[in-house]
Every structure is written in C-alpha cells, then in structure tokens.
Structure 1
Amino acid sequence: MEKAFTLIQVSEESKTDYASYFLKGEVNYWWESTRALDGEGHVSWTRFTELFLEKYFPDYLQSLLEVEFLELKQAEKSVSEYEAKFKELARLAPGYVRTKIQKASRFQQGLKPEVHSGVVALQLKTYHSVVQVALVIESDQKLAVKEKGDKKRKSESVTNKSDQEESSQKFQKRFGRNRNKRFKRQGFPQLWPNST
C-alpha cells in the first residue's frame, strides 16, 4: 500500500480511507466493526496499521516467523529457492537484516556447507554479491557432477565393450573349434582356420 500511496501522492489523512476502500469480505466486516468500537471519528494511518497487524499478524505469529527465519537453511533447496524463502521471511524479521552486511551474513549462514565454504572464503560484504557467488558455485558444482557422471558412463561403456569383445572371441573359439570338427567329420570344408 505504501508504494501506491507514494505513487499517487495520497495525503496522510486520506491513507486510511483509501486503504479501507479496498478491503473485501471478512476483512471489510472486521474493519467496520473495529472502527465503530474504536470510537474515534477519523482513524489515523498509524492506528489503522496497528489494528490491522494486531488482527492479521499477531505477535505470536511474528515470533514463529522470526524463529523460522533464524532456523532457515538451504538444505535440499537450490540457491534460488533458498533465496526466495529468505527474502520472504526477511521482510517479516527486519531486525535481523538491518544492514547490508547483516543480511549477507544471515544468508551465508544458511547455505549448504559445500556452497558456504566457497562464499565465506571471499569475505563478501553485500547480500547481492553473496547470492551471485552462491549461484555460480552451485552451477559449477552441478556441472562437475554432470561431467563426472559422463566420464563414468563413458568408462563403463568402454569396459562393457571390451567385455563383450572378449566374450565374443571366447564364444567364437569354442564354437568355431567344435563346428570345424563336426564339419570335417561330415566332409565339409573348414570354416575357421585353427589358428585365431
């Protein structure tokens, strides 16, 4: 709402009226009854936001979200997924990310160890740079895993091919010898020479 107020230059006195105009359904009923119970003629924007947050974002919920933010880890999420969740919760726990350095440090703490170690070594000071480096490290690690898998498959393919050739040669030796003996007995010319 604050962005809209700035964009269309709503005066401080009109903010509550403007915001309450957009309330719908249950929220609108809540506001109508709250305004009637509050007893004041005009409710200031500051008072409106206090009442609204009290109702729809109570202290216990704020505390739960702060704890969730403090315990947030990347775990199995990608860096992008982790960053999205981090930004969502950081808005609700602004006391922990007041400065660029605090925000960068807090984000860094939740990264996977293999990404974290690369980021920490660079001693980055801004949130943006920490996120960018984490994305690069993650991308590099995925590429390394893919290359390792490709090499392993190629190695297995070469091993399987040589095993197949060896089996084929053994089969031909055994089968060829027996076949040549049978054909000789029956008067047919030899198909495979004795020496291989």
Structure 2
Amino acid sequence: MEKAFELAEVKNEKKMKYASYYLKDEGRYWWESTKVLQEEETISSQNFMEFFLEKYLPSYIQDQLEMRFLDFKQENMMMAEYEVKFSDLERFMPEYVNTEAKKAKRFQQGLKPWIQSQVAFLEIRTFAYVVQITIIVEGEREATKRKYEGKKKKFEDSESEQGRSKFKGKFGKNVSNARQKFQKFKPENGNQKNRF
C-alpha cells in the first residue's frame, strides 16, 4: 500500500481516505464502525494502520511472523527461492529492514554458512548487491561442483577401463581369448596325447 501511495504521491493526510476506499465487504463494515467509535476527524493514517493491523493482523500473529522472520534460514533452498521467501516475510517486519544496511545484514544472517563466509568480509551494505553477490557465489560453487563431478566420473571410467586392460597380454589380446585358444589344445575324453 505504501508503494502505491508513494507512486501516486499521496500526502499523509489523504492516505487513510485512499486506503479505506479500497476496503471491501467485512473490511468496509469494520471501518465504518471504527470511524463512528473513534470520531473520524481524530484518526490519522498512522492510527488507521494501527487499527487495521490490530483487527486483521493481531499481535500474537505478528509475534509468530517476527519469530519466523528472525529464525528464517536458507537451508536447502537455492538463492533465488531464498530471496523471494525472505522478501515475503520481511514485509511484515519493517522495523528490522527499514534501512538498506539492516535488510542486507538480516539477509546475510540467514544464508548457508559457507556462503556467509564467502561474503562476510565484503561488508555489503545494500540488499540488491548482497543478493547479486550471493547468487554469483552460489553459481560458481555449483559450476565447480559439476566440473569436479565430471572429472571424478572421467577418472572412475578410466580406472575401470584400466582395470579391464590389466588382463590383456603383451600384444593387447584379451585373456579370455587366450583361454579359448588354450581350450582347443586341451586333451578331450581323458586322452592325454601330446599334440606337440
């Protein structure tokens, strides 16, 4: 809502009227009764937000959201997914992210430890930049991992091939071929004649 007010350049004294205009159904009924009880002339846009949050986002839910936000970690999420979920949660906790530096710091606190260690020394103070850097760090790690796995597979394949070739004779003929040839010279039916 605040972004819409900023875009439309709505002044503070008119924010409440604009916001209340968009209320529908139960929200509309709630606002009409609140205006009567609170004397509409004394309600500021700040009061409106407090009343609205008290009604539709009670303190116990706010407390749960706060704990969820503070405990939120990247864990097994990819960076893009973590950033989306972080942004979804942070909108309920503006006091923790009301400056770029606070937002960047809180985002970094939830990162995987190995990513934290890669970016901490940079002391990044803007959210967009920390997201950009962490995506690069994660991407580089994934590329290195794929490269290592490719080399490992290639090494294992070559070892396997070397294992098979250990049984080849002097001229590269397979041992099983030599056995078959030897079988031809083996005496049959107990006949021990020397063929040489």
Same fold (TM over 0.5): yes
Q: Once the two structures are superposed, what CA deviation does each residue of 1:141-180 show, in whole Å capped at 9, x if it has no partner? A: 1011111111121122222333344568121121221135
Q: From the superposition, tell whether residues 14 and 128 of structure 1 become closer, same or farther in structure 2 (CA, over 3 Å).
A: closer
Partner of 2:181: 176
Q: From the superposition, tell whether residues 167 and 23 of structure 1 become closer, same or farther in structure 2 (CA, over 3 Å).
A: farther
Write the distance in 2 (CA, Å) between the matches of 1:6 and 1:119.
33
Partner of 1:154: 154
The aligned amino acid for 1:156 is E
For the residue of structure 2 that corresponds to 1:125, the secondary structure is coil
The aligned amino acid for 2:91 is R
The alpha-carbon deviation at position 138 of structure 1 amounts to 0.6
% identical aligned pairs: 42
Write the distance in 2 (CA, Å) between the matches of 1:100 and 1:10.
24
Write the distance in 1 (CA, Å) between the matches of 2:82 and 2:54.
29
The aligned amino acid for 2:90 is A
Partner of 2:108: 108
Moved more, 111-120 or 126-135: 126-135
Instruction: Give the TM-score of the pair, scaled to structure 2.
Output: 0.76
5+ long unaligned stretches in structure 1? 184-196
1:1-196 map, 5 Å = 1-10=1-10, 14-40=14-40, 43-166=43-166, 169-179=174-184, 181=186
Q: From the superposition, tell whether residues 164 and 140 of structure 1 become closer, same or farther in structure 2 (CA, over 3 Å).
A: same
Write the distance in 1 (CA, Å) between the matches of 2:60 and 2:87.
20
Moved more, 163-172 or 146-155: 163-172
Write the distance in 1 (CA, Å) between the matches of 2:5 and 2:94.
22
RMSD, aligned CA: 2.8
The alpha-carbon deviation at position 98 of structure 1 amounts to 3.5
- Give the paired residue count: 183
Instruction: Give the TM-score of the pair, scaled to structure 1.
Output: 0.76
Moved more, 150-159 or 33-42: 33-42
For the residue of structure 2 that corresponds to 1:80, the secondary structure is helix
Q: From the superposition, tell whether residues 110 and 6 of structure 1 become closer, same or farther in structure 2 (CA, over 3 Å).
A: closer
